[in-house]
Structure 1
């Protein structure tokens, strides 16, 4: 199965567009699990979150930086976290990678083969040849940064550029290129922040069939209903609404996993209500 087929199956099975971000912040890990600076604490935390939410999500998304901060033990915790996730649930490694030549080949081998992630986030700044080692993997997916959720995203992403006689913001030109890469490779997705619903609607119009990973709901201030209505594809899906802090840190005591489950149910149901409206 292709990534998109697996994602669709996971979404239909769970009735969900929720993607849970597995971002272990040492300052917020429950103290009863162990020392916050111990990667074994991270693994215990992730195991509990995964076990309490597997029936509620369409995907998981660990962010590489949180694991690298623990050094080699953190990388091992990331690899083991990947193994803990049931194989029918897609897992996106948020690495925001993009490099040249053999370096990209090495990254693709690491993330897809050695670590067995189903998809990876990439930045397109170096062009198609830097992404080809990822894009060419027919059983995986590549989520291209288009319009990110941070306040400074407009410094470059909103700049007007002229390409092929058309002048428009850079993020729309990136979306256009990703649409073409999808036609060539069939493995493209997009990343657009919930904090920019108008831009999300523009990107969806440009790329009606591509899956869009949407960070920024909740702690970053993105409005859920507006986001869902701006980003749904013609079939009423095509979104992965990512939530990390609002779910995994919903509780801090011994019942933190149950609190995460309650938060995930609430968010999944809110997303579905927005889909129906």
Structure 2
């Protein structure tokens, strides 16, 4: 039996003492596409000692057309074996279509985990849930202001819409699904009330760095499942006078201090 995604992630966090997820969001430079693979490999190489995971966002690669997708497919086999890769795709579609998304990401590209939109219902998640050793993160409370339009809306029984996503996570656990199921909770909108209302499952937490999220909102949550705190622009593009390794080390230390690692 292969190790679960959650266990692989926990082992990586324990090894590095870091819960930093390094986001790989290459801004398309259409007149010099050859510079992008060089940049990506440099970021991966320099930040790997401080990375609990890497998170390529597929939109940036798709924006470069076929060559962009080729870059992603060429990069993935060269990523460090013990560092989980979470492909940020945010897919949500009917089951038949989702089946092919799952094949594309887990079988063809071979990534460890993906992000999914759960708002079309639990059955749309099922094609992803029978992959041993893989993981999915369900959009739950995202980091954008518009998360209040749907995700943070209150239901007639006093619960919030995002709690329905938590119910899907619990259902996957009760059904003993092979795939680890976690949630995306944006740091800019996270607070103790939200964390108290969702199950103790792996969290992917964007919003630190360029988006200005506050790590103190995570303290004292009581969650034991391994978290990932994502930083993308803050490492790849902010403070260009600093090296990628230096920026990753700084963010990893800030996260460690906030989470008490």
Name the TM-score, length of structure 1 as normaliser: 0.87
Aligned counterparts of 1:129 and 1:264: Cα–Cα separation in 2: 38
Q: Which residue, out of 203, 207, 225, partners 1:212?
A: 203
Distance apart, 1:259 and its partner CA: 1.2
Structure 2: 5+ residue stretches without partners: none
Partner of 1:169: 160
Partner of 2:74: 80
Are 1:261 and 2:245 an aligned pair?
A: yes
Q: Is the 8 A contact 2:155 2:161 kept in 1?
A: yes
Distance apart, 1:268 and its partner CA: 0.6
Aligned counterparts of 2:78 and 2:221: Cα–Cα separation in 1: 30
Are 1:238 and 2:226 an aligned pair?
A: yes
Partner of 1:139: 133
Aligned counterparts of 1:105 and 1:39: Cα–Cα separation in 2: 31
Aligned counterparts of 1:276 and 1:2: Cα–Cα separation in 2: 25
SS in 1 for 2:243: helix
Q: CA RMSD in A?
A: 1.9
Q: Which residue, out of 112, 115, 119, partners 1:121?
A: 115
SS in 1 for 2:165: helix
Q: Which has the higher helix share?
A: 1
Are 1:227 and 2:217 an aligned pair?
A: yes
Q: 1:168 to 1:37 in 2, by over 3 A?
A: farther
Q: 1:275 to 1:101 in 2, by over 3 A?
A: closer
Q: Is the 8 A contact 1:11 1:58 kept in 2?
A: yes
Name the TM-score, length of structure 2 as normaliser: 0.92
Structure 1: 5+ residue stretches without partners: 27-34
